[in-house]
Amino acid sequence: QHSRQVRKDSLERINGLVVLCIGILILWQGKGLSFGSPHAPGAGFFPALIGVILIVLALVLIVRGGKGTEGGGRLSASSIARVLGVFAALLAYFLLLEYLGFVVVSFLLMAFFFLWVARQRWYVALSSAVLCIGLAYVLFDVLLKSSLPKGVFGF
């Protein structure tokens, strides 16, 4: 039991280090973008916000390790498949975003997350994906006037 808890603590700290690196990378990549202000955010505002949030959450993971969690630290085949599926979906999103555009690729990604990760029924997953992407489109394209990738379909 003790070795399982040590393994779980180590895994959570490694996860924390990975998330920390991602947060730092986001801040580094956004360093040349205009920050703006909370009332008039620039292109660098949201990357900076997301980077800081990831860094804070990573530090919590690193410090807490597996404290307060149950379980033996073993990963099931289905949980490994879901994690690999998420990474594959994110890679596909990155590769297809410019070609297919924000709306199409983001809808596919959200639908995948609702179906594969959250295990929702297909009609709940598709309607939730439409709602999420619709709200994101209105927020970023209409209200914030961000330049979202249009893709071959023009939207």
pLDDT (tens digit per residue) in 13-57: 888 899 899 989 988 888 888 877 667 778 887 888 788 888 888
Tokens of 134: 């619709």
**What is this structure's pTM?**
0.58
Q: Round to whole Å and give the CA distance between 127 and 47.
A: 27
What residues does each domain of the chain span? 1-74, 76-155
Within 10 Å of residue 35's Cβ, how many Cβ atoms? 15
Residue 53: what are its φ and ψ, rounded to 5°?
Answer: -60, -45
Q: Round to whole Å and give the CA distance between 150 and 136.
A: 14
pLDDT in tens, 52-82: 888 888 888 888 775 655 555 556 777 778 8
